[in-house]
Amino acid sequence: MTTAPDPGSSAAASRPDDAVLLPEDAVLRTEQVEFARWLRTSLPRFLMEYEFAVKEVLTKVTILREEFLHLHRYNPIEHVTSRVKRPDHLIEKIVRKQVRGGLDAIREHITDIAGIRITCSFIADTYRLLDALTTQNDIRVLVIKDYIKNPKPNGYRSLHAIIEIPVFLSTGPVNVPVEIQVRTVAMDFWASLEHKIFYKYDGHVPSHVADDLTHAAEAAWRLDSQMEDLHTEVRSHEDEDTTMELADTALLRQFWDLSHPGGTP
């Protein structure tokens, strides 16, 4: 056991009056101090790459949303949220998962540092949107999990994908993984409620509450299916003519003449 020096000893005399005695395991070694300094400078830049990756994906989502509106007069996206893990939360997960190595190991083993959640109106929209994103040639798909067709035991439904997207920095491109979740409004409402209940009970949800949540998930699925059928029926009766409406008929004729220099084919 380490004992404090006698007040009259030379060690005590050389110690400032306001010095705090720390246990030996609370004192950082020199290499740990150096590591902390490295982390303070490297981690913000590391997370900045994820911020940029989120912006890249959000730009793609925005383009798809505007294209759907322009070509199909329909927007399948209700809302979009995104986040990048806070440094302290990331370090907690690194320690919990026992990830050994540097930043490359962290990037490989923790794939939810950056996350984007897209909420769609209907079930078909979730598949359509995820396919439109993941088939773009600068995106590499790492994992896709379909929890809509194969829900979790508690009733959770959503599409999950881990993609890799290049971020172009001054030092060159960096491939950054981003987690994407795509779900309907009903699925998102249920998942939000389940998340709150899970943390309220600190992960130990009473069985009767868990059963009620499962029944609620089934009800949400029935609602999604009914609304999908209704949406399909309504869309089938809509006028599919997407011809641009031009108020100036004379201008339209002139444009037609320019487009058909040889006259009527």
* Residue the block writes with tokens 């079930």: 123
Contact 71, 242 (CB under 8 A): yes
Measured at the CA of 78, the angle between CA 72 and CA 84, to 5 degrees, comes to 125
3-class secondary structure, 99: coil
| Cα distance between residue 176 and residue 167, in whole Å | 7
Angstrom distances, CA of residue 255 to CA of 135, 250, 258: 36, 9, 5
For residue 135, give the CATH number of its domain.
3.30.460.10
Q: Are strands 140-146 and 159-169 parallel, antiparallel or unpaired?
A: antiparallel
Residue at 5 is within a domain: no
User: Which run of H or of E encompasses 77?
Assistant: strand 77-84
Angstrom distances, CA of residue 103 to CA of 20, 49, 110, 169: 35, 12, 10, 17
pLDDT value at residue 206: 86
pLDDT value at residue 5: 45
Domain count, the chain: 1
Q: Which range marks the domain in which residue 121 is found?
A: 28-186
Residues of the chain with pLDDT under 70: 1-28, 237-248, 262-265
Q: Give the predicted TM-score (pTM) of the model.
A: 0.76
Tell which residue, 152, 149, 135, 143, has the closest CA to residue 225: 149
pLDDT value at residue 239: 53
Residue at 258 is within a domain: no
Residue at 168 is within a domain: yes
Residue at 133 is within a domain: yes
Residue at 233 is within a domain: no
Report the catalytic residues: 179
Three-state secondary structure of 128-177: HHHHHHHCCCCCEEEEEEECCCCCCCCCCCCEEEEEEEEEEECCEEEEEE
